[in-house]
Chains A and B, each alone.
Chain A
Amino acid sequence: MSETAIEFNHVQKIYYLYTSIGFKELLLHPIKYRREKRKRALIAINDITFSVKKGEAFGLTGPNGSGKSTILGLIAGVLKPDRGTIKTNGRIAPLLELGAGFHPELTGRENIVLNSIILGMTKKEVEKKMDEIIEFSELGDFVDQPIRTYSSGMLARLGFSVAVHIDPEILLVDEILAVGDENFQKKCIDKMMSFKKNGVTIVFVSHSTDQVHKICDRVARLEKGKLLSIENA
Chain B
Amino acid sequence: MDRKTLIYYFDLITVLTKKEIKVRYKNSALGYVWSIANPLMYAIIFYFVFKIVMKFNIKEYSLFLISGLFPWQWISNSITGGANSFIGNASLIKKVIFPRFFLPLAQVLNDAFHFIVSIPVIMVFLLFYHRVPSLNWFIYLPLMLIPTFLIAYGFSLLVASMNIFFRDFQYIIGLIMTLLFYLTPVFYDMSFVPKKYKNLVLINPFTPLITNWRELFMHNNLNFTNYALSILYSIIVLVIGFAVYKKLQVRFAEVI
Give the interface of A toward B (CB within 8 A).
15-16, 18-19, 22-24, 26, 73, 76-80, 92, 94-95, 97, 100-106, 110, 113-115, 117-120, 122-123
Query: CB-CB < 8 A to A16: which residues of B?
Result: 251
- Judge if B219 is at the interface, Cβ distance under 8 Å: no
Query: CB-CB < 8 A to B167: which residues of A?
Result: 19, 22
Query: CB-CB < 8 A to A26: which residues of B?
Result: 166
Query: CB-CB < 8 A to B172: which residues of A?
Result: 23
Count of A-B contacts judged by CB separation below 8 Å: 83
Query: CB-CB < 8 A to A122: which residues of B?
Result: 7-8, 11
Cα(A142)–Cα(B61), bound, Å: 53
- Judge if B138 is at the interface, Cβ distance under 8 Å: no
Query: CB-CB < 8 A to B95: which residues of A?
Result: 76, 78, 94-95, 97, 101
Cα(A230)–Cα(B48), bound, Å: 75
- Judge if B92 is at the interface, Cβ distance under 8 Å: yes
Cα(A95)–Cα(B95), bound, Å: 5
A79-B19 in contact (CB<8A): no
A118-B91 in contact (CB<8A): no
B19-A117 in contact (CB<8A): no
A120-B94 in contact (CB<8A): no
Query: CB-CB < 8 A to B162: which residues of A?
Result: 23
Q: How many residues belonging to B are interface residues under a CB distance threshold of 8 Å?
A: 31
Given A77-B97, A105-B23, verify A23-B15 contact (CB < 8 Å).
no
With both chains docked as a complex, state the minimum distance between the C-beta of A143 and any C-beta of chain B, in angstroms.
16
Give the interface of B toward A (CB within 8 A).
7-8, 11-12, 15-16, 19, 22-23, 89, 91-98, 162, 165-169, 172, 250-255
> Could you say which of B15, B22, B89, B97 contacts A78, with CB atoms under 8 Å apart?
B97
With both chains docked as a complex, state the minimum distance between the C-beta of B224 and any C-beta of chain A, in angstroms.
38
A22-B12 in contact (CB<8A): no
Query: CB-CB < 8 A to B7: which residues of A?
Result: 122
B254-A106 in contact (CB<8A): no
A15-B91 in contact (CB<8A): no
B169-A114 in contact (CB<8A): no
B12-A117 in contact (CB<8A): yes
Cα(A24)–Cα(B172), bound, Å: 10
Which residue of chain A is the closest to B163 with respect to CB atoms?
A23
Which residue of chain A is the closest to B165 with respect to CB atoms?
A18
> Could you say which of B8, B168, B250 contacts A24, with CB atoms under 8 Å apart?
B168
A114-B91 in contact (CB<8A): no
Which residue of chain B is the closest to A72 with respect to CB atoms?
B95
With both chains docked as a complex, state the minimum distance between the C-beta of A93 and any C-beta of chain B, in angstroms.
9
A101-B91 in contact (CB<8A): yes
Query: CB-CB < 8 A to A97: which residues of B?
Result: 95
B22-A105 in contact (CB<8A): yes
With both chains docked as a complex, state the minimum distance between the C-beta of A82 and any C-beta of chain B, in angstroms.
10
